Structure 1
Amino acid sequence: MLDKRQFFIDGRWVAPAVAHDLEVIDPATETACAVISLGSAADTDAAVAAARAAFPAWRDTPVDERLVRLEALARIYAERADEMAAAISQEMGAPISLAKAAQAAAGAGHIKTFIRTLRGFAFERPLGEHAPNTRILYEPIGVCGLITPWNWPMNQVTLKVIPALAAGCTVVLKPSEIAPLSSMLFAEMIAAAGFPAGVFNLVNGDGAGVGTQLSGHPDVDMISFTGSTRAGIAISKNAADTVKRVSLELGGKGANLIFADADEKAVVRGVRRCFNNSGQSCNAPTRMLVERARYDQAVATAADVARSTAVGQPGQEGTHIGPVVSAAQFDKIQRLIQAGIDEGARLVAGGPGKPEGHGTGYFVRPTVFADVNNTMTIAREEIFGPVLSIIPFDTEDEAIAIANDSPYGLTHYVQTQDTARAKRVARALRAGMVEVNGQSLGAGAPFGGYKQSGNGREGGAWGLEEFLEVKAVSDWH
């Protein structure tokens, strides 16, 4: 079992102020694979103090020098990509093929994109032709507390750490205590890339402990959080007393609108996207809205895809799905599957319990419900497991109304061969992102949502601006 009790503070690995061990559980075996320590207020204070002390020099470091450090990090990350994939696979159960191709690769992609963004970003610009001597300056906000989730560890760590450092901020990272191993490996990479002491700090802990300490800390200028809406609300309230900036990327309940003229692969594509990462993605299309003319066929196809979706061990190469991350997550998914049955949805694939041959590990049966209506629990709550709800609709307006009838507004999906309709529906959907006909958003597109899906944007120039203050200066010659 790995011993990972230390924290990375002020450029070195240090023991916790007070021992508070926590086992990291391998979700495939239900046994401990590592032990970490949960931080105390003393650890948080030390990390924040180190970040505060390092901020003036890092703020004043020229962009070209920041780029040198980020480019070194990109090289080191690429060299150790297989180690990163293995850590993610072990800590949260992603199949190793997915961990290499998507999980670890997402981190590499974001580092590369932010380097490109930083090279082209104008930190000083004129207000406009009407006021050439009024200058707009973009300056780093200061010390940033970054709180990241377990489901896409490096995706979220790099979406926060890299733009913060690029902007000239210093950071304290609190990764998920459920899946901390990848972030500790990332800290090793930061150290090897030569970032100055105190610019990056890592303290493990839970939300009630280190998370609360960071969000309320008077010397933390900004909190960037990815996780549940419930936790985001608590963080916002705790941060209010210090009037710090709070950027939130929260839950989702994505609607996938499949019109009668959608391409023949639309349903298969939608089911697979829902089940990807064992359904543990905030932007998963978990509500499939199907026009009545294609509804019965879509239900049959979705059931076939679910039944043919293999469930397997994380260490095996392949396109199967692995376990969900924890016993608590497994129990939540089982409760919601049962709620779907109890509320009258038609179960057409999967269901309660574990898949055959997987008595050990937090494995979930790929599950599809048909004849769902938008008032059912499974259509309202974020399940965060491989569970799809299929809802029929008759008109375009009805489909839009169903999709928008949700407290969330992160990512919606549109499947149609009618270009005018695709644009019309995309504009009408109340979400931060809309993907059309299976086409992913481009690198550097802003990631974030409307309503209870959050209030920030990550990625590209928008992600860099999250960590910058805007200053206006007159009489600039």
Structure 2
Amino acid sequence: MREALKFYIDGQWVDPANGVKPLDVINPATEQPMGRIAMGSAADVDRAAKAAHAAFESFGRTTRAERLDLLGAIVSEYQKRYADIAAAITEEMGAPAWLATQYQAGLGAAHFQTAMAILKDYKFEEDKGTTHLVKEPIGVCGFITPWNWPINQIACKVAPAIATGCTMILKPSEVAPFNALLFAEVMHAAGVPKGVFNLINGDGPEVGAAISSHPLIDMVSFTGSTRAGIEVARNAAPTVKRVSQELGGKSPNIVLDSADLATAVGGGIQSMMLNSGQSCNAPTRMFVPRPKMEQAKAIAKAAAEAITVGDPNGNSVIGPVVSEVQFNKIQGLIQKGIDEGATLVAGGPGRPEGLDKGYYVKPTVFADVTNDMTIAREEIFGPVLAMLPYDTLEDAIRAGNDTVYGLAAYVQGPEDEARQVALRLRAGQVNINGAAPDFMAPFGGYKQSGNGREWGDHAFTEFLEVKAVLGWSQAQAAE
């Protein structure tokens, strides 16, 4: 049983300002408590904001070399706790051990290594005629992160913030908080100066709202649902702080008529079901040429039924979804798909056979879906795929873009044709033929999927202000 009833503020572990308000953290595989955390308040945020604000005075003026050394120390300490972080993610949010080790924890380290590579040569100053442009750290940053890829979303914010000289306050998800607490221990062991990194546990309405609205916080970076993102932006508006958001998605996956159907459909199923479908960029809507739909159904059925579901510490491909709330939401949407007339190809309501406890969901595939059905419009955030037939490629592109979201999109087929389709899809990131992740590529969305970009050098931009110093070069002015 894990227990963490303190917060990390100003370089030390401190008691909550208003006393300990404990919250049980539930293991989704057992439905039993696996730990307890304390829930914070606006008073804790105020204390952390003042510490971060004071720390920025010196940390914002550190040199490139000093920040590179610090990032290197963080990577070194992170590697020492790598297995601990992976184990926590498995226990608190149900990611299979192989996924938590190879991907979940691995992404955290990768973002820091990427930030170091970018920082070595990043141009913080340049001349434009007689004007000198300087990119300076924005100041104190508030981070509100989710439970589905927890350490990934922490690292992709913290790493560029450290690299650019910002200070910060992190509120991780209260659903999966222990990986973040381990990360705070990493930051402390790495020698991060006091006040530069602060962590407060809590929920959105209390701690999240306090972070978003605090006048000493200069920007807020939020990852989560579009509904919650609207509240973050609303709370941030009175202080006119910068708001960067990565929100929901309902990503199209267009299988071209000339694509290898077995590869495209089978690969689409695997990508969709990864992490129990709990990825904002999951390819949840698969568009298939109508004449090939029956063949695609057979491929999808076989692929979905080959995915093993079970104990995340065993050999299963996917584990449970994160909570009872998520389980019930997903079950309701699966039933909605049936009620609205979609063809159930695989899976369906209820737990997989032999699993009587834990928030396990059957890998589910619907076919003959129309783009106005609920399962084609709403973000399900579970292992549920909607297959939609199309008659012409124009129809597929139009329907693919017919969503309030625009985080990601996917195209399967010959490269030249896939490129042309990719350029017409309204999404922040388009994947062609199952391309591997690129840590230098910007990640973020169009429309209600958010604003701003994370990952790579684009992430640095979110944490920098641009100052123009006119008349810097009088010699050029004279000429």
TM-score by length of 2: 0.97
Q: For the residues of structure 2 that align with 1:319 and 1:402, how far apart are their CA atoms?
A: 34
Where does 1:75-474 land on structure 2 (aligned, <5 Å)? 75-127=76-128, 131=129, 133-263=130-260, 264-316=262-314, 318=315, 320-417=317-414, 419-474=415-470
* Residue equivalent to 2:5: 5
Q: Give the deviation of 1:410 after TM superposition.
A: 0.7
Secondary structure class of the residue paired with 1:120? coil
Q: For the residues of structure 2 that align with 1:143 and 1:376, how far apart are their CA atoms?
A: 43
Q: For the residues of structure 2 that align with 1:360 and 1:420, how far apart are their CA atoms?
A: 48
The AA in structure 2 aligned to 1:16 is P
Q: For the residues of structure 1 that align with 2:90 and 2:187, how far apart are their CA atoms?
A: 21
Greater displacement, 319-328 / 271-280: 319-328
**Two-structure CA RMSD over aligned residues (Å):** 0.9
Q: Give the deviation of 1:299 after TM superposition.
A: 1.0
Q: For the residues of structure 2 that align with 1:237 and 1:442, how far apart are their CA atoms?
A: 32
Q: For the residues of structure 1 that align with 2:351 and 2:281, how far apart are their CA atoms?
A: 24
The reply on whether 1:55 has 2:52 as its aligned counterpart is no
Greater displacement, 381-390 / 17-26: 17-26
* Residue equivalent to 2:75: 74
* Residue equivalent to 2:26: 25
Q: For the residues of structure 1 that align with 2:419 and 2:34, how far apart are their CA atoms?
A: 48
The AA in structure 2 aligned to 1:402 is A
Q: For the residues of structure 1 that align with 2:387 and 2:252, how far apart are their CA atoms?
A: 10
Secondary structure class of the residue paired with 2:449? coil
Q: For the residues of structure 2 that align with 1:68 and 1:294, how far apart are their CA atoms?
A: 55
Q: For the residues of structure 2 that align with 1:296 and 1:447, how far apart are their CA atoms?
A: 34
Gapped runs of 5+ residues in structure 2? 474-479
Secondary structure class of the residue paired with 1:191? helix
Q: For the residues of structure 2 that align with 1:456 and 1:438, how far apart are their CA atoms?
A: 24
Q: For the residues of structure 1 that align with 2:431 and 2:291, how far apart are their CA atoms?
A: 22
Q: For the residues of structure 1 that align with 2:182 and 2:61, how far apart are their CA atoms?
A: 28
Secondary structure class of the residue paired with 1:104? helix
Secondary structure class of the residue paired with 1:36? strand
The AA in structure 2 aligned to 1:454 is G
Q: Give the deviation of 1:29 after TM superposition.
A: 0.5
- Residues 98 and 319 in structure 1, CA contact (< 8 A), matched pair in contact too: no
- Residues 125 and 132 in structure 2, CA contact (< 8 A), matched pair in contact too: yes
* Residue equivalent to 2:477: none
Q: For the residues of structure 2 that align with 1:270 and 1:212, how far apart are their CA atoms?
A: 37
Q: For the residues of structure 1 that align with 2:419 and 2:96, how far apart are their CA atoms?
A: 36
Greater displacement, 464-473 / 76-85: 76-85
Secondary structure class of the residue paired with 1:428? coil
Q: For the residues of structure 2 that align with 1:268 and 1:48, how far apart are their CA atoms?
A: 48
Secondary structure class of the residue paired with 2:120? helix
Greater displacement, 282-291 / 440-449: 440-449
Q: For the residues of structure 1 that align with 2:196 and 2:297, how far apart are their CA atoms?
A: 52
Q: For the residues of structure 2 that align with 1:410 and 1:166, how far apart are their CA atoms?
A: 26
- Residues 260 and 293 in structure 1, CA contact (< 8 A), matched pair in contact too: no
Q: For the residues of structure 2 that align with 1:262 and 1:77, how far apart are their CA atoms?
A: 42
Greater displacement, 432-441 / 231-240: 432-441
- Residues 169 and 467 in structure 1, CA contact (< 8 A), matched pair in contact too: yes
- Residues 84 and 182 in structure 1, CA contact (< 8 A), matched pair in contact too: yes
- Residues 215 and 239 in structure 2, CA contact (< 8 A), matched pair in contact too: yes
Q: Give the deviation of 1:422 after TM superposition.
A: 1.4
The AA in structure 2 aligned to 1:303 is K
- Residues 146 and 160 in structure 1, CA contact (< 8 A), matched pair in contact too: yes
Q: Give the deviation of 1:292 after TM superposition.
A: 2.0
Greater displacement, 76-85 / 3-12: 76-85
- Residues 97 and 319 in structure 1, CA contact (< 8 A), matched pair in contact too: no
Secondary structure class of the residue paired with 2:423? helix
Q: Give the deviation of 1:294 after TM superposition.
A: 2.2
- Residues 212 and 235 in structure 2, CA contact (< 8 A), matched pair in contact too: yes
Q: For the residues of structure 2 that align with 1:328 and 1:380, how far apart are their CA atoms?
A: 20
Deviation readout 1:315-344 (Å, 9 max, x if unpaired): 12x351000000000000001001000000
Determine what percentage of the aligned residue pairs are the same residue. 56
Secondary structure class of the residue paired with 1:429? coil
Secondary structure class of the residue paired with 1:408? coil
* Residue equivalent to 1:14: 14
The AA in structure 2 aligned to 1:307 is E
Q: Give the deviation of 1:262 after TM superposition.
A: 1.0
Q: Give the deviation of 1:440 after TM superposition.
A: 2.5
Q: For the residues of structure 2 that align with 1:466 and 1:367, how far apart are their CA atoms?
A: 38
Gapped runs of 5+ residues in structure 1? none
- Residues 346 and 370 in structure 1, CA contact (< 8 A), matched pair in contact too: yes
Greater displacement, 285-294 / 460-469: 285-294
The AA in structure 2 aligned to 1:8 is Y
Q: How many residues align?
A: 471
Deviation readout 1:270-293 (Å, 9 max, x if unpaired): 001000000000000010000123
Q: For the residues of structure 1 that align with 2:32 and 2:24, how far apart are their CA atoms?
A: 9
Deviation readout 1:204-253 (Å, 9 max, x if unpaired): 00000100000011111000000000000011011100000000000000
